[in-house]
Amino acid sequence: MTNRDVEAAIAYHNDTKHSLLSIHSEPHYLDFSNQPLPYKIYTELDPIPLPREIPPSGVGALDAVASDGSFEGESVPGLPILASLLHHAAGITKKRTFPGGEIHFRAAACTGALYHVELYLVCGDLPGLEAGVYHFGVHDFSLTRLRSGDYRANLVQASGGQEAIAQAPSVVVCTSTFWRNSWKYRSRAYRHCFWDNGTILANLLAMSAAHRIPTSIVAGFVDSMVSELLDLDTQQEVALTLVPLGRATDPTQGEALPTPGLGLETMPLSRTQVDYPAIRQMHQASCLDDPDQARDARNGPTEAPPPPSPSGREFPLGPPSVLDAADTGLEAVVKRRGSSRQFAREPVTLKQLSTILTQSTRGVPADFLDPLGTSLCRLYLIVNDVMGLPSGSYFFDREAGSLEMLEEGDFRNAGGYLGLQQDIPADASVDVFFLTDLDHALARYGNRGYRAAQLEAGIVGGKMYLSAYAQRLGASGLTFFDDDVTSFFSPHAEGLAVMFLVALGVPARRR
């Protein structure tokens, strides 16, 4: 099955939908004695410690989140800046002790706090770091060198000559280890690959912007070439995205280097593993086989279809909040960010909501979103308690910068039900649902379009986390009853598929 056989994505999406019937008829019990290790640890290689004394950027979170990452001139980040980027994208920011043990929470939100996304660094010679292929060790804040030498040409070739990669002094490669997430979420975990990679990328984009480092996201590449470079066991771990960091004066040239197998030992994740074939099948069906496919996907605009013409009452959004960077510096916001497990049923202001929406949706610099500002996702809201805005259901009109009311009313109970019968979306001030025209995404990009739509939702959701916590609010990414969400927002959302849900509000415990 090839990337253009889009029935694979349609089947996977339909088969992994949640419904009231499915969650009650298919119980799943967690074996905590077999919970996967949340780290990839190479047992035979010596780690290279990363510098821990990292000066803050001095940039406010809201400004960093809104940046499109397009900075001019040369930019070659050295080891201290790279350490800051890695830490604030995926590092450990806090530790909590529970009856079952200690949990290490990280910079970006992750479904179930299972942390299945790994980061690798492919670079030329940098200030403080030799050219090579490295793995970022979250557990001890280090880099482990897997290959010596400059392998950036391999990524240039794999991406079909992507210009940003050719110009980048270093490239972060994001992967997912399936079992870490499927232990709890089973076959639905493939969706989470891109949600959770997305929240990491939101942090990474913001941190890069704070340091004025040109950064973008590349989702189109030959999967096997990247996997071979990182020596991945693709039955267990696969590449998701490439993130070129910086801009060098001389683009990477030359032929790709050979990538023989390394046979490196890593610490076992758990005693046993359960295989969920649907995950691997969906991934394989969305793989690209040659560089021309990656190049062809970038030819031409995304051309997302327009939403229905406005027919309801419209509420213009105001300008974003201007906050004191001393209190809302990006690094400080990342460190206090969490996932709110309880909301206080208190109102947020329209200005706070406007700030979250406008700063989070300025555009994602990704190869599947052309031109910048294009989106595969449409945002629908259940407004429970926003000062200056009637309670009801809404569509966010990005172009007009306004919220179109679909129906006025108290939908707290509906929000709680749609969010998998949980208190969090019922208690939140606002629930933001990400929906996409899946037929369009698949027609444009093949099965790869499914990855792209999920990834964009995760990135924008991650930006919402940062924008909310910058204003001392809370956020929580959630799952949902797929078809019921579409039905709730129809006829406006008729035919759309649900990608993600973020609940926003006043946390019961302030951070």
Domain 314-505 in this protein, CATH class:
alpha beta
What are the strands, taking DSSP E only, across 246-358? 314-316, 348-349
Which residue type sits at 170? Answer: S
Mean pLDDT computed over 20-49: 93
328 pLDDT higher than 90: no
Determine the distance from the C-alpha atom of residue 376 to the mean position of all C-alpha atoms in its chain, rounded to a whole number: 14
Separation between Cα atoms, residue 42 and residue 181, nearest integer Å: 20
pLDDT over 90, % of the chain:
88
**What confidence category does residue 36 fall into, taking pLDDT thresholds of 50, 70 and 90?**
very high
**What confidence category does residue 252 fall into, taking pLDDT thresholds of 50, 70 and 90?**
confident
Report the 3 state secondary structure along 347-369.
CEEHHHHHHHHHHHCCCCCECCC
Separation between Cα atoms, residue 441 and residue 302, nearest integer Å: 9
Picking from 315-324, 403-412, 493-502, which range would have the lowest pLDDT averaged per residue?
315-324
88 pLDDT higher than 80: yes
Mean pLDDT computed over 174-180: 99
Separation between Cα atoms, residue 376 and residue 16, nearest integer Å: 20
Separation between Cα atoms, residue 191 and residue 219, nearest integer Å: 15
Separation between Cα atoms, residue 52 and residue 208, nearest integer Å: 18
Question: What local confidence, expressed as pLDDT, does residue 344 receive?
Answer: 96
Question: What local confidence, expressed as pLDDT, does residue 493 receive?
Answer: 98
Contacts 24+ apart (CB under 8 A), 44-48: 44/264, 44/265, 45/144, 45/145, 45/146, 45/264, 46/144, 47/137, 47/140, 47/142, 47/143, 47/144, 48/134, 48/142, 48/143, 48/144, 48/145
**Two tokens, residue 10:** 């349609």
323 pLDDT higher than 90: no
Separation between Cα atoms, residue 371 and residue 208, nearest integer Å: 21
Q: Could you report the per-residue pLDDT of 50-84, keeping only the tens digit for each?
A: 999 888 899 999 999 999 888 988 899 999 999 99
303 pLDDT higher than 90: no
Question: What local confidence, expressed as pLDDT, does residue 297 receive?
Answer: 85
Question: What local confidence, expressed as pLDDT, does residue 319 receive?
Answer: 87
Separation between Cα atoms, residue 108 and residue 339, nearest integer Å: 9
Question: What local confidence, expressed as pLDDT, does residue 250 receive?
Answer: 87
Question: What local confidence, expressed as pLDDT, does residue 324 receive?
Answer: 61
Report the first-to-last Cα separation within the chain, whole angstroms.
48
Mean pLDDT computed over 315-335: 84
Mean pLDDT computed over 149-168: 97
What are the strands, taking DSSP E only, across 437-496? 474-478
Which residue type sits at 153? Answer: A
Separation between Cα atoms, residue 483 and residue 207, nearest integer Å: 36
CATH 3.40.109.10 in the chain is located at 7-297, 314-505
Q: What angle do CA 34, 86, 67 make, to 5 degrees?
A: 125
Mean pLDDT computed over 86-102: 89
Separation between Cα atoms, residue 449 and residue 440, nearest integer Å: 9
Q: For the domain 7-297, what is the CATH code?
A: 3.40.109.10
**What confidence category does residue 327 fall into, taking pLDDT thresholds of 50, 70 and 90?**
low
Separation between Cα atoms, residue 279 and residue 452, nearest integer Å: 16
Q: What is the DSSP letter of 258?
A: P
511 pLDDT higher than 70: no
**What confidence category does residue 326 fall into, taking pLDDT thresholds of 50, 70 and 90?**
low
Determine the distance from the C-alpha atom of residue 79 to the mean position of all C-alpha atoms in its chain, rounded to a whole number: 24
Mean pLDDT computed over 282-295: 97
Average pLDDT over the chain reads 95
Radius of gyration of the chain (CA): 22
170 pLDDT higher than 80: yes
